[in-house]
Amino acid sequence: MAALYITVNGARHEVRSPAETPLLYVLRDELGLNSPRFGCGLGQCGACAVLRGAEAVASCRLPVGEVAGAQITTLEGLGTPSEPHPVQQAFLEEQAAQCGYCSNGMLIAAAALLWRTPHPTDAQIRAALDDHLCRCGAHPRILRAVRRAAALMWDEPAEEGADA
């Protein structure tokens, strides 16, 4: 059996698990990354989201063998504590998390959205985050955070008074 290599957060790793193993388990169990979380195991809650290139994907349903050669980014690779990604900074500034379980997926989905749509409408933000469940009710803060992140990323003032 040929060795399987994946690139996660800019570093190349040899995978010991079989190619059909969900990427989530490899990220958590082999690489020790804690940001992608197990939620539903069905790709319906968003807690396990990671970036494959600039696309947010559910790592709980994605076989690791399908990401060989792709750039995978987890929340750990999006920014650092000293230099957070604009989405991370905006979520902190807007206090857009309560329990924080959904935050990983929300941040990943928001980053993917803002890379492909620099100035999203509220409807586009809601659509991008639709597959990410938050049970705490932080949705208004999350919407404000995505708008703030767009402003941070593209050097524009955040839209004040927009409906959340």
Confidence of residue 62 (pLDDT cuts 50, 70, 90): very high
Topology alike, domains 4-78 and 86-154: no
Architecture of domain 86-154: Orthogonal Bundle (1.10)
Instruction: Average the pLDDT over 16-38 and give the result.
Output: 95
Domain locations along the chain: 4-78, 86-154
Instruction: Average the pLDDT over 73-85 and give the result.
Output: 93
Of residues 162 and 23, more confidence is placed in: 23
pLDDT score, position 163: 47
Q: In a 10 Å sphere around its CB, with 0-12 CB exposed, 13-18 middle and 19+ buried, how is residue 155 labelled? A: exposed
pLDDT beyond 60 at 13: yes
Q: Tokens in use for 7?
A: 């690139």
> Biggest alpha carbon distance in the chain?
58
Collapsing DSSP states into helix, strand and coil, what is residue 72? strand
Choosing among 3.40.1110.10, 3.10.20.30, 3.90.1820.10, 3.10.450.50, the CATH entry for 4-78 is: 3.10.20.30
Contact 17, 37 (CB under 8 A): no
pLDDT beyond 70 at 157: no
pLDDT beyond 70 at 162: no
pLDDT beyond 50 at 122: yes
Of residues 137 and 8, more confidence is placed in: 8
Q: Tokens in use for 139?
A: 């949705």
Confidence of residue 39 (pLDDT cuts 50, 70, 90): confident
pLDDT score, position 5: 95
Q: Tokens in use for 161?
A: 């008074």
Contact 144, 123 (CB under 8 A): no
Q: Considering only 73-77, 144-148, 160-164, which range has the smallest mean pLDDT?
A: 160-164
Alpha carbon 85 to its chain's center: 12
- Report DSSP state, residue 96: -
Record the pTM. 0.87
CB atoms within 10 A of CB 17: 16
pLDDT beyond 70 at 164: no
Considering the chain, what percentage of its residues have pLDDT values greater than 70?
Answer: 94
Instruction: Average the pLDDT over 138-160 and give the result.
Output: 81
Q: Which strands, in side-by-side order, build the sheet including 4-8?
A: 11-15, 4-8, 71-73, 49-52, 55-58
Q: Is the dihedral of CA 57, 80, 94, 28 positive or negative?
A: positive
Cα separation, 135 vs 46, whole angstroms: 12
Contact 142, 129 (CB under 8 A): yes
Upper half-sphere CA count for residue 75 (Cβ side, 13 Å): 29
Of residues 97 and 34, more confidence is placed in: 34
